[in-house]
Amino acid sequence: MEESFVTKGGIDKAALKALATRSDAKGLLQLGSHLGAIALSTTALLLAEGLWLLPALVAQGLLLTFLFAPLHETIHRTAFHNRALNDAVAWVCGAVLVLPPEYFRAFHFAHHRFTQDPVRDPELATPKPATLGAYLWQLTGVPYWRERISTSLLHASGVAAANFIPARLAPKIVREARLLWALYLGLLAVSLAAGSALLLWLWVIPMLLCQPALRAYLMAEHGLCPLVPDMLRNSRTTRSNALVRWLAWNMPFHVEHHAYPAVPFHALPAAHGHIAPLIAVSAPGYIAVHREILGSLGRSRQAGPRPSSSSG
């Protein structure tokens, strides 16, 4: 399943071809830095005591939770030139996140094809928060974990039916869910037999603790953007700092990604240089986006964002 949703205009054909060049070296450098940081945070967590335990858990949690970024890039198969490498990394990241890659690819490609379509975009199947309580509930990550566990168990039972899942992919989605849960049960059995809580402290607790950071980040991608098919208007680019861009594999350049999904993560800043004046919705940072979201709660949803804070 290759991406074919390209916005016309903004970047000429020759420049786009150059930007869309995939690179194993650049992908491995980014992945290596992310995995290296996880190795450091894991070491810190193993050594942490007292007051140092919480920051070590947060560091571990953020780095693990944002494996969503390489998962996203590899299900597009743009992280690396090598297809097998993309698929292998996607599977490992998906296992960490309880988000298996074949299912996520089907879900995510439907989101790309029908971005902000209230009927066909699967991201809009769950209503956006309309009250402060709903906003805070979504931020907790509990709805995410509830959906992920129930859906993946349903798939493992042999049922993989959704309007965005082609019939030909259903058997593969069932197999990957069964393999995923066999892995989890195997890890649980080994942990219980060894009397070890290591996976709990190195994986489960950090992931639960930091899922709100990923929820907040993902809310900014399309929250309060117009419900229109124009990729330059229905997504938001968030101008953030270098650390966030590194952690999220440049995906704060989200308009650029939706307009040109064949462009790898490492070329998105260059793509931004080409189309920045055409971007309808942008924000100076994630705090600004969430101020706008909070300001919208309890009001009727508008056709687009308020120009005072996030239209660029």
Take residue 51 and report the two structure tokens written for it.
């007051």
Report which DSSP code applies to 10.
Answer: S
Whether 5 is in a domain gets the answer no
Domain assignment present for residue 257? The answer is yes
Q: Would residue 3 count as lying in a domain? A: no
Amino acid at 221: E
The domain total for the chain is 1
Do the Cβ atoms of 106 and 114 come closer than 8 Å? no
Residue 301 within a domain = no
What does the pLDDT read at residue 249? 98
pLDDT at res. 9: 59
224 to each of 85, 121, 234, 264, 306, how far by Cα in Å? 36, 15, 9, 26, 9
Q: Strand, helix or coil at 298?
A: coil
Which SS3 state, helix, strand or coil, does residue 150 take? helix
67 is a domain residue: yes
Q: How far apart are CA 253 and CA 278, in angstroms?
A: 13
Integer Cα distance of 81 and 83 in angstroms? 6
Of 94, 54, 57, the closest CA to residue 75 belongs to: 94
In a domain, 64, yes or no: yes
Bridge-partner residues for 85, per DSSP? none
Mean pLDDT in consecutive groups of 10 residues from the start of the chain, 312 residues: 52 95 98 98 97 97 98 98 98 98 98 97 93 97 98 98 96 98 98 97 98 98 97 96 98 98 98 96 97 87 39 32
Give yes or no for a contact between 141 and 199, defined as CB atoms under 8 angstroms apart. no
Is residue 8 in a domain?
no
pLDDT, position 77: 98
What is the reported pTM? Answer: 0.92
Structural domain span for residue 49: 13-296
Q: Per the domain annotation, does 312 fall within a domain?
A: no
Alpha-carbon distance of 16 to 267, in angstroms, equals: 10
The whole-number pLDDT of residue 8 equals: 52
